[in-house]
Chain A
């Protein structure tokens, strides 16, 4: 029996379903390249993942920026990298034939379809704030995926929907034609990040090196392809501290 630790890799529960297998492939790549034992655990929702973090079960996490504050400032995680070629921008859309042309047309009581993705919901609510709507004046319709947000708009069970911009790119042409964007965020500085626990920190230099090298070898490239990333940009701790400060300003009421 080996007494080596088994590190736990996990991914923010808002990962795109098309990339689930990509994260298992990444886990295999991780074990080979760091010469460690690792296990990929995917949680169904943010709350169960946060519980695992509180219980110190997580060692490497591709984290939602909303959770970065807890990971870095309470759990001493270290910033490793962010993915190139993906963004965390929010689109607010309506059904193509909706009478709503501008955010200003929305009235209190508007039905808002959304997932439980915390950073997209935060950014979406900030855009609604500019027309005096807030959590108390919209009626939430919470669904499990962005496809279901689209369906809620098409069926007329919601007036507006929050989407992760990248998820819209994966919709079929038929769905996309029936949706009309009203506004989209262009923030740029807020993104999912890969963070390592204090337990894993001894491996962080080799992890960074291996991540940076990924696009330069066929094996790494095929892992990136299955994740839908173009590569990794290594992060300094201060980059992440800055992002957390920004999110703190957005969360503050």
Chain B
């Protein structure tokens, strides 16, 4: 079960959400509008089992998420789910990879301290001897123009979902 976020670990003024997560129930989220810039030259890498439970993450993943490796391994990947992201984006991700395909997209991720970071993510199925044994995601630094386009798209998707975008618009 995912830990709720704690106000004493969050830096700055925050918005609050009760985010429903698949197989996790609701998680209470504390979200600030502080952006942590993507580190130049690095790749943020993680692997999950077929259920989306984290089985491996690299040092950049640990550094950017704000969690320790011990907190991450065994946690569902939705530990990073930011409430500004539309549900449809993740439906697209799972539809693609469960069909054995590659998924790309721009993702706003939530850190343990309530801040966020944007990534350009690619997720692929890990096929071993013909069987999908898990998924790998490699994130890279998105351009500001691509982030702006993603925000515009996610604003529209949020409206479709009967919701609206409450985050910064650039």
Contact = CB atoms under 8 A, between A and B. Distances in A.
Interface of A: 126-127, 129-132, 183-189, 241-242, 245-246, 248-250, 252
B40 A248 contact: no
Contacts of B123: 249
B58 A188 contact: yes
A132 B136 contact: no
Interface residues of B, number: 28
A252 B124 contact: yes
B142 interface: yes
B128 A246 contact: no
A176 to B, nearest CB: 19
B103 to A, nearest CB: 10
Nearest to A92: B41
Interface in B31-85: 38-43, 45, 47, 56, 58-59
B43 A187 contact: yes
Contact of B140 (A130, A183, A242): A130
B122 to A, nearest CB: 4
Contacts of A241: 126, 128
B102 A252 contact: yes
Contacts of A131: 143
B146 interface: yes
A129 B140 contact: yes
Contacts of B42: 185-187
Contact of B41 (A132, A184, A246, A248): A184
Q: Lowest 5 CB-CB distances: which A-B pairs, in order?
A: A130-B141, A249-B122, A249-B138, A185-B41, A245-B136
